[in-house]
Structure formats: structure tokens, C-alpha cells
Structure 1
Amino acid sequence: MTEISTRSSGRASEKIWLASYPPQVPAEMPPLEYRSLADLFDKSVARFADRPAFTSMGKTLTFRDLDRESRKIGAWLQTRGLEKGDRIAVMMPNILQNPVIVYGILRAGLVVVNVNPLYTPRELEHQLKDAGAKAIFVLENFAHTVEQVIGRTDVRDVVVATMGDMLGAKGIIVNLVVRKVKKLVPAWKIRGHKRFRDVVAESAKLSLKPVEIAASDIAFLQYTGGTTGISKGATLTHANLLANKAQLSLWLATAFFRRPRPEQLTFICALPLYHIFALTVNSLMGLSLGAHNVLIANPRDIPAFAKELQKHPMHIFPGLNTLFNALMNNPDFQKLDFSTLFMALGGGMAVQRPVAERWLKLTGMPITEGYGLSETSPVATANRFDSEEFTGTVGLPLPSTDLEIRDEEGNTLPIGEVGEICIRGPQVMTGYWQRPDETAKVMTADGFFRSGDMGVMDERGFTKIVDRKKDMILVSGFNVYPNEIEEVAAMMPGVLECAAIGVPDPHSGEAVKLFIVKKDAELTEAAVKAHCAANLTNYKRPRFVEFRTELPKSNVGKILRKELRG
């Protein structure tokens, strides 16, 4: 048994949120039951061998298949002269190769470096160099990006996969469509690369050598802009992720008080597995529960996404506000059977109340909002899973998690006052990879991580995110939070999406500018301003309104205010 980090210590009497806990959930999580993520993997595949684990484009891998195929990848990596702790980059969307490769890397005692496939060459080069990656697995659609930077990195092995590699005979057709019809594979040439299918074939007779992996060993370098904008690797150990999995397992148990738990849970995995939200909530939780993850390679294709959902029961559906909103505007999604849905989990960005209310009306289930960051593996707080309502908060700190609202000087603020959310617990990273200076900026002397998010805790222990510190707008000395402006604007039936930023103003320092994507073509600037005037005090009202056909988003679907600021 592995003891949890001492960072989770704290007197229960100080934790006002415990009074709001479900009675069955303990204040502290028990010692970890697994030595490493590889240990969790081994025990889960043995227990759930014949159950479906991942499905993509009509092809399913059982847990036994996942065991066999990831073993091949791990064994092949061990023949490449790599040593325990070496970093391996994975540049893949949600296809079957992703979990096969990630678990193969972990079982070989190596470190996964998740890479956003849509990175520019500059972003990719920075991440590969910073991590000191020795190898990369990449989908051929993005190999041209790797080609442009590979010579300036320490990467020795490049393995290129195709969309159809693990789809059997159907894969030939899929590859033909991807390459020739949709033309999604730009020309590329990387000397000495290996094809994924050849690596799998070569490794069929290799044996995965046992590796002693400690809970304190690094499992992932999860890159993030963090609180300062410089892309840094959050160093997440096996213990960090196992702790968050254990915390979520305690929390999840309460969901089954509302209705019986099915024999096998089905998770919808629309968020990319290279993102920390899906990595922990879909992949690791799915692994430990013996759940079936339905992989959605391109959730932006809403019509195709809705059609895929017709084929599977939906039990647990993690998503973002923008995704929930887009789905509800699709006629096929509106006709789906939601009777199996246990919960929709909202994270990554604020869930707007109008979106949550429409979701509840359509599906009969609330969006259960949580909160976390790459640096916290990621979940720090969550609403109760047995709740029937949308609270408008990010819920309560998970077991063994301390949360304080602090001012700029690090003083703990009274209940009801807005300050920076600071988190301490076994899921908090050990620091930023090889960045002691950046780590020192966010870790306090008493072990709290300074999130860079502004929030307020109420007397029941529920925390509401007010906004990112850097997104806050200062109007004539008053703090204005974009989330509030956006939630008010989203109440208008004619608004599909919106985002608020601050722009320079000679009189007030900054003024609010609101960007809107219309649902109703007749929506006017005057109507928007009148609605905001009726719902917001004067200094919060948008001075400028700009209509756009779309808003810039991250690959996860989070609206990028920084790009709107220019």
C-alpha cells in the first residue's frame, strides 16, 4: 500500500465543506491500492479481460486486446535503448492507437508527453525540446509538422500511424477516404521513421520486461500555459493520478443512489485523450471501473457525433459548455434516448446557466460541474453526483483536498470574499518540469498550488469560479468578470456563443467588448445592449458588440479570449 502525500493533511474542523458531503463519502481517501498506473492496468485487464474497453469508428478493443497490443508497444520501446524515465511524445487524436500507445509507454516505465495534434511547428518544437523527448508517435495527418522540427530535437524514433491501422479491413477504406477524398494528410517525409503497423508486427514475438515502477515516479508531463502563459510541463507522478482516480471513485459511488448501476458503464469520450480531463476521467476511471469508452475522433463534426451516439447507451458524458451547447442545437441529438444517462460532467471552462437549464430540460439530467487544472491531475472540486440540480458552482473539494481563497499577499480570506483559489492535496503536481523558478511562483511554503483562478466560497463550502486573474477586466477601478457578462448574454435566445474581453479605454482604463455568434440572424447590437442594460450594472455593460461567424477555440473547445484580445 502506498501512503498518500502529506500535502493532504489538514484539520477536518477547518473544512467547512465536509458538512455538505454525501454521508457515505469520507473526508480523507484511504491509502492508494495500486503501486503504479501499470499495476492498475495489470489488475484491471485481468479482472475485465473480455469486456469492451475502447470503441472507435465501429471497431472495439476488449481489455484483453488492450493488454496484448500495449504490451507490444512497451516491448518495442524497450528494444530502442530507452531507459526508465525517458520521455515519449504522443501526438494522436481519439483513435484506438492512443490508449494502446499510452499504456504501452507507462508499462515500459517511461513517461508520456501528451501533444496536441494541432500544434504549430513552433509549439511542437518547444514542447519536444523542453521535455527532452526521445521518441514520438504521431498520426500521419500531422507528420508534416513533426518533419519541420524533428532535426532540432533529441527525438531518435518516429512512429507514424494511420487512421485505419487498427480497424481491420475497414481501415483500407478509411485511409483512402482520409488521404484521397478528404485530403487530410499533407505531404511529409521523415527519414528513418517507422510505420505503426510494422512496429506492432515486429513486436509480436517480443516480451515486455518487468519494470519496477514506484508511485513517486513520473508518469506524465502534461503541458499547460499554467498561470503565466509559458508552456510548461506539469510533472504528474503515478501517485498524483492514482490519488485523483481514487478521489473520483469515492465521489462517483454516490451517483448510483439515484438508479442502479449497469453491469458495464459506457463513457462518451469526446474530449481529447491528450487533455488531462479526458485522460483521468475517461481513460483512467474507465480502466479502473472496467468501463467502455466510446472514442469520438472529431467532436466538432456534430452531425456525425450525434449519429455515433445513436449506437451506444450513454451513462457518463464528460464535456465542455461549448460542446453541450453545440449538441443541443443538433436535431438528431435532440431525438436521442437519454434514459440511460447517469451524469454529464462539465469542466474545462465555466458552464453557463442557460446551457445547463436547456440540457436539464432536454435530457432530464443536470450538468454536474467540477473544477481542476493540469497541475491537479486534474479534479480538485466537484458537485455532488447525487444532486438533481445545477448549482452554478464547481462544488466541493474532493476527499483529502484542501481549498483556500487567498489574497495577493497569501492571506486566507473570509467566506464570501473573492480571491485566488489555492489547492493542496495528493493530486497536486510535484512542480513544473525543470522549471524551479516557475514552480516557486505557484507553490506556497505550506504546500498550496496557486491556481490563477479567482473564486469565492460560500458558507456551505461550495466554490464559484469568478474568472481567470488574467481575464479580469478593470473598469474605472471596478473588477468585471467575463464569465458573468457571457452568462447574461447567453440568456438571449438569439445568441449561440459569446465571449467578453477588456479593451483599452481613455476614460475608464478598460471597457467591456462582447463578441457574439448569432443563432438568430435578426439579432441586433441594440437588442444585445438593451438586454445587458437590464441585467448588468452600468460599468459591467458591454460598450462594444461585435458579431462573428465563429469564435476561436482550443482543440478541446474552450473559447480563447486571448486570441480575441489580439
Structure 2
Amino acid sequence: MTDNFWKDKYPVGIASEIDPDTYPNIQSVLRQSCQRFADKPAFSNLGKTLTYGELYRLSGDFAAYLQQHTDLQPGDRIAVQLPNVLQYPVVVFGALRAGLMVVNTNPLYTARELEHQFNDAGAKALVCLANMAHLAEQVLPRTGLKTVIVTEVGDMLPPLKRLLVNAVVKHVKKMVPAYDLPSAVSFTRAMALGRGKAVREAEPDREEVAVLQYTGGTTGVAKGAMLTHRNLIANMLQCKVLMGSNLNEGSEVVIAPLPLYHIYAFTFHCMAMMQCGNHNILITNPRDLPAFIKDLGQYRFTGFVGLNTLFVALCNNDSFRKLDFSALKVTISGGMALQRATAERWEQVTGCPVCEGYGLTETSPVASVNPIQRIQIGTIGIPAPSTLFKVIDDEGRELALGEIGELCVQGPQVMKGYWQRPGDTAEVLDAEGWLKTGDIGLIQEDGYIRIVDRKKDMILVSGFNVYPNELEDVLATLPEVLQGAAIGVPDERSGEAIKLFVVTRPGKSLTREQVMKHMHDNLTGYKRPKVVEFRDSLPTTNVGKILRRELRDEELRKAGLK
């Protein structure tokens, strides 16, 4: 589709283009916002609020510590393994101000997954929560990490509350396994050492990489998507334009239950809402619904960012349905497909329609959105401003409107490539900047885009990509396993759940419990199977490749969905 095709598809008030070079780098965005909105609340968590002025001061203290008390140099990678706590924006913006490259790291990763990511990224520093410091201890000798900073949940709270919260987490809830990291520095110590010290403000070029965001991409093993300052700024501006006049600067209160280490929440809350001077309410553990809903009751929130599974859980909760939604004007869904029934239920409960968007880690992540003025449930909306979509066949030829093929996207938010993987980059990104998404879809005549299937075998669990290759590799390390296959099966709660098919070696025996324990020990929660089925054989091609699609089709037929 040409530029002209898309230009008249945007509702009145939404520009079809943005200028991705509005700011030279993320530091510039942060500096301007923190000056302009200095007294406005930026982030709140556990009853404590940081203003934009405080965020700038504290991120400066952390940057100064990194520059004056470590050997880290501009361009070095720092892994940030934190949930939604106030330390997260302080650490990330501090690291960027010091010129480091941020490597967002899932706090739920196992030691095996951490070791791969730290070594692949060449990370030299790690900031982690005490709750998972025992895993850092395990992998430290096998990585290049030189600096480890450990923080506790309550470290940003006033002194007495900090002691109380940290003591409860450690001694009452028993959530901090014992660890021994004699060379580690506490976050509070690092902040004290940097307090008030001068920062040599990094001024990177807009094409330099700001964040390494790990993903399975459209194929296999976890790879680092190189997201530049320009990529993230472009997507920030695109999000702002798509919100139109629905969100005002410096006055919105937006709920942030999705993890900031995930690119969806990172770009929206730490970039778009930060640039607008809005107030982000960080929810550390959205699975604790009573505590989550209690937090919601304290704010007249105007925006909510979530995904299908979270909307379902909340709408089924009596306490949530009793909240005051009179101020809520924007609800955004992404990360996984939004079901029509869920969207209708959310609007019924809250009075606010849901805007569904679509994106990939490789697109920073927003590629398309349903504009709030013109929502079309069942589609992923229209392209973000300055973004083009096309559909291609297996030979790479562009298809006409309404024809089904692989979706491709081009725009200033498309990644630079995969970190140190030129071959993998060339498979998905061409010389003109077109990214193959791996999703099968079509473009309607009205410009709205619809996804109809997934080209690859990726499984989507609660908005997280899970790649069968990784699961099957882990399964194959069990000596009793001859063949294994992992597929996604429909699941009301998480969209898809993981099912393993296992063929054991002749004369060997294996139980479901042994398989589940092995997968539990080697994979983070959302990658663990829910169902294990033992078989005598699996369907394969004539060269022995397992046909996952046949297994999926069989499961869909069983569920009456095919």
C-alpha cells in the first residue's frame, strides 16, 4: 500500500505523520519533561509518589554512582531485573544518563535463561531485586558481570516504612531466598554514594542503541532487538498522537499493571506518559487482585493499560465492579488478542471502550492501533502515524487489499536489527526497512488490519511470546525423551496454554510429574506446560520434522473449534 492509501484513513484530529527527529535522544525528552512538570507526580508505588523533579534528581544520583564508583563506560550493557517498583524508572533513566545500554530482564527468569541473556548481551552490570539475587549468585561465575546492585522492594520508601516493608517481604512472606554476593552493592548504598555528585550527561546520537529488548523474534532462540533512541522516541510520539485529545498533558492518572521490563509497558509509561508529564501508578503484583483493587480505589484514574487476561480477571471480581470509573476515558489493550466478549464486558463494567493495538518487540512495540474515536473490534486498527503495512505471499510479492498473506511493517519505530545476529536480522528486515512480522493477515479497504493466523509456531501466553524450540530443547535434555513437541492450546485465562507431547525412548519410563518438574526448574512461569501427553509417535514430514500444526489442529478439533 502506498503512503497515499493510508493518509485519509486517520480520524479527524489524528495526524498521519510524526517527526521522529523531534528530540536528539531519550535524555533530552526526560530533561525537558522533568523541568516542565517538575512538581507533577510521575510514578507512584506502595503509597510513595515521585515527582518529575525528584525523578530527575534521583536518576542523576544513580548515574553519578555508575560513573564515579564503577568501571562502566558509555555503551556498556546494564541488565535491569526489576518488577514495577519506583527503583525501575530511577535505574533505567540513570543508566541512560550515564550512557549505558539498558537490557530489560524478566525478574521471573530461571538461572539458565539469565545466563543466556547476560552472556548474549555481554552485560557488565546487573540491578536486581533481592528476591532473585540467589539466581544472580548462581550465574555470576559464568558471565561477564562485574557490577551487581541489589535492591529490596521497599528501598524507595520513607525510612521506617522501608524497614517494615522489607522485613515483611523477607521474614514474614519468606520471599527472599538466601544469597551470598559479597561483591554486590546495595541500591541504598549506591544512591548514597552518588547523591549530589555531578553527572557527565551522555548525549548519544539518535541512531545509537538505547535498549536491548530480548524476544524470540519471529523465530527461535531469544535475541536482543536493538531499539535506538530514535525508535523509542518515534513510538512515544506515535502513541501520543494516537491518544489525540483524549489524554491531556500533566493531568492524567494512568494505571500500570503490566511489567515495565516488557516493551509494551516500557514505551507507554516510561516514554509516552513521561513525555506528557502524566502520573503512572505502578502495580508491583497485579496477580494479587485484592491488593491491586485496593490500590485502584485510592485514585481517580483516567487511563488503564492492560491485556485480555487481566481484563477478564478484574471484570469477574465483585470488588473491582464496585469501583468508581467515572473518570476513566482511555483503556488500551495489547500484548495478546483481545476477545470480543472481553471488550464488551469491560465496557459494560467500566463504561469505557477498549482500544486494541498491535505490535512487536521489533517495532518498539506499537505498529497499529484502533483509534478511540473509531474502534473496530476484531481488528488491530490502522497503522501508527508514519507507518506503512503491506501483505506479501511466500515469494515476497505484495498482495492486493483483502488478500491474505504475511504482514510486513515499515516505520521509524522498526528496530535497528538483532544484537550481533546479522543473519537473523536479514531474515526479517530488508534493505528498505520492511519487517516481516511472522503474522498472517489482511488489509481491509477501510485501512483496518486483521490478523487471521500466525505464520510461525509461536505460543502466546498472557501476552508473552513462547517459542516451541526453546521448550523442546529443554525437554530433550531429559535422557528418557526420544521426541517432543510443544504447542499452544486454547485457554480461557491466558489465551493459550502450553501442551507438551512426549515420546519416550524404548525401554525407558517417564512420568508427567518428572517432566513438569524438569520444565519448572529450567523455565520461567509463563513458559511452563500445563498439559503433558505421552504418545507412541508424533506426526512428522518425510524428513522427520515434527508437524506441530497437525497436533494443533487435532487439539482444536477436540475443543470443537475446528
Indicate the TM-score class for this superposition, using the shorter chain for normalisation.
Answer: 0.7 to 0.9
From 302, 317, 330, the equivalent of 1:343 is 330
Distance apart, 1:462 and its partner CA: 0.6
From 37, 41, 61, the equivalent of 1:48 is 37
Cα pair distance change 1:262/1:34, threshold 3 Å = closer
Deviation digits for residues 505-564 of structure 1, max 9, x if unmatched? 69994453559xxxxxxxxx9xx96xx4xxx6xxx1xxxxxxxxxxxxxxxxxxxxxxxx
> Aligned partners of 1:94 and 1:269: how far apart in 2?
8
The secondary structure found in structure 2 opposite 1:163 is: coil
**Structure 1, 411-420 or 354-363: larger mean CA deviation:** 411-420
Distance apart, 1:155 and its partner CA: 0.9
Query: Does structure 2 retain, via aligned residues, the 8 Å contact 1:106–1:112?
Result: yes
Query: Does structure 2 retain, via aligned residues, the 8 Å contact 1:19–1:460?
Result: no
Residue 451 of structure 1 aligns with an amino acid whose one-letter code is T
Query: Does structure 2 retain, via aligned residues, the 8 Å contact 1:455–1:467?
Result: yes
Q: Name the structure 2 match of 1:314.
A: 301
Q: Name the structure 2 match of 1:203.
A: 194
Deviation digits for residues 426-448 of structure 1, max 9, x if unmatched? 00000000100110111123320
> Aligned partners of 2:146 and 2:493: how far apart in 1?
46
From 14, 27, 33, the equivalent of 1:25 is 14
Query: Does structure 1 retain, via aligned residues, the 8 Å contact 2:250–2:276?
Result: no
Residue 375 of structure 1 aligns with an amino acid whose one-letter code is E
Residue 70 of structure 1 aligns with an amino acid whose one-letter code is S
From 207, 213, 217, the equivalent of 1:226 is 217
Superposed, 1:264-275 pairs within 5 Å as: 264-275=251-262
The secondary structure found in structure 2 opposite 1:467 is: strand
1:276 is aligned to 2:283: no
From 446, 465, 486, the equivalent of 2:432 is 446
Q: Name the structure 2 match of 1:564.
A: none
1:241 is aligned to 2:282: no
1:413 is aligned to 2:404: no
Query: Does structure 2 retain, via aligned residues, the 8 Å contact 1:403–1:423?
Result: yes
Distance apart, 1:347 and its partner CA: 0.5
Cα pair distance change 1:403/1:498, threshold 3 Å = closer
> Aligned partners of 1:472 and 1:252: how far apart in 2?
30
The secondary structure found in structure 2 opposite 1:246 is: helix
Residue 449 of structure 1 aligns with an amino acid whose one-letter code is L
Query: Does structure 1 retain, via aligned residues, the 8 Å contact 2:250–2:278?
Result: no
Q: Name the structure 1 match of 2:136.
A: 146
> Aligned partners of 1:501 and 1:276: how far apart in 2?
23
Deviation digits for residues 365-412 of structure 1, max 9, x if unmatched? 11100001111011000011223x452111000111011111121111
> Aligned partners of 2:296 and 2:20: how far apart in 1?
37
Superposed, 1:185-196 pairs within 5 Å as: 185-196=176-187
> Aligned partners of 2:353 and 2:392: how far apart in 1?
30
Q: State, as a whole percentage, how many aligned pairs show the same letter.
A: 47
Query: Does structure 2 retain, via aligned residues, the 8 Å contact 1:505–1:511?
Result: no
Q: Name the structure 1 match of 2:290.
A: 303
Residue 283 of structure 1 aligns with an amino acid whose one-letter code is C
> Aligned partners of 2:125 and 2:494: how far apart in 1?
40
Query: Does structure 1 retain, via aligned residues, the 8 Å contact 2:20–2:237?
Result: no
Q: Name the structure 1 match of 2:446.
A: 460
> Aligned partners of 1:329 and 1:25: how far apart in 2?
34
Distance apart, 1:418 and its partner CA: 1.9
Cα pair distance change 1:358/1:31, threshold 3 Å = closer
Cα pair distance change 1:200/1:497, threshold 3 Å = closer
Residue 51 of structure 2 aligns with an amino acid whose one-letter code is T
1:35 is aligned to 2:24: yes
Superposed, 1:40-119 pairs within 5 Å as: 40-79=29-68, 80-119=70-109
> Aligned partners of 1:511 and 1:264: how far apart in 2?
47
Cα pair distance change 1:205/1:398, threshold 3 Å = closer
Deviation digits for residues 306-330 of structure 1, max 9, x if unmatched? 1110011221111110111111111
Query: Does structure 2 retain, via aligned residues, the 8 Å contact 1:367–1:390?
Result: no
TM-score (normalizing by structure 1) = 0.82
1:160 is aligned to 2:146: no
Q: Name the structure 2 match of 1:182.
A: 173
Cα pair distance change 1:301/1:406, threshold 3 Å = same
> Aligned partners of 2:345 and 2:249: how far apart in 1?
26
Q: Name the structure 2 match of 1:550.
A: none
> Aligned partners of 1:320 and 1:157: how far apart in 2?
35
Q: Name the structure 2 match of 1:288.
A: 275
Which runs of 5 or more residues in structure 1 are unaligned? 1-9, 474-481, 516-524, 541-566
The secondary structure found in structure 2 opposite 1:134 is: strand
CA RMSD of superposed structures (Å): 2.4
**Structure 1, 206-215 or 265-274: larger mean CA deviation:** 206-215
Query: Does structure 2 retain, via aligned residues, the 8 Å contact 1:55–1:96?
Result: yes
Cα pair distance change 1:369/1:64, threshold 3 Å = same
> Aligned partners of 1:262 and 1:41: how far apart in 2?
15
1:255 is aligned to 2:246: yes
Distance apart, 1:55 and its partner CA: 0.5
> Aligned partners of 1:163 and 1:279: how far apart in 2?
19
> Aligned partners of 1:472 and 1:274: how far apart in 2?
20
Deviation digits for residues 433-482 of structure 1, max 9, x if unmatched? 01001101111233201111111211111111223222499xxxxxxxx9
Cα pair distance change 1:330/1:199, threshold 3 Å = same
Deviation digits for residues 215-252 of structure 1, max 9, x if unmatched? 11110000001111210000011000001111111111
Query: Does structure 1 retain, via aligned residues, the 8 Å contact 2:63–2:194?
Result: no
The secondary structure found in structure 2 opposite 1:512 is: helix
Residue 27 of structure 1 aligns with an amino acid whose one-letter code is S
From 347, 354, 357, the equivalent of 2:341 is 354
Distance apart, 1:337 and its partner CA: 1.1
Superposed, 1:417-436 pairs within 5 Å as: 417-436=403-422
Cα pair distance change 1:254/1:383, threshold 3 Å = farther
Distance apart, 1:212 and its partner CA: 2.5
> Aligned partners of 1:129 and 1:76: how far apart in 2?
24
TM-score (normalizing by structure 2) = 0.83
Which runs of 5 or more residues in structure 2 are unaligned? 460-486, 502-537, 541-546
> Aligned partners of 1:30 and 1:62: how far apart in 2?
28
> Aligned partners of 1:263 and 1:498: how far apart in 2?
35
Distance apart, 1:31 and its partner CA: 5.0
Cα pair distance change 1:71/1:421, threshold 3 Å = same
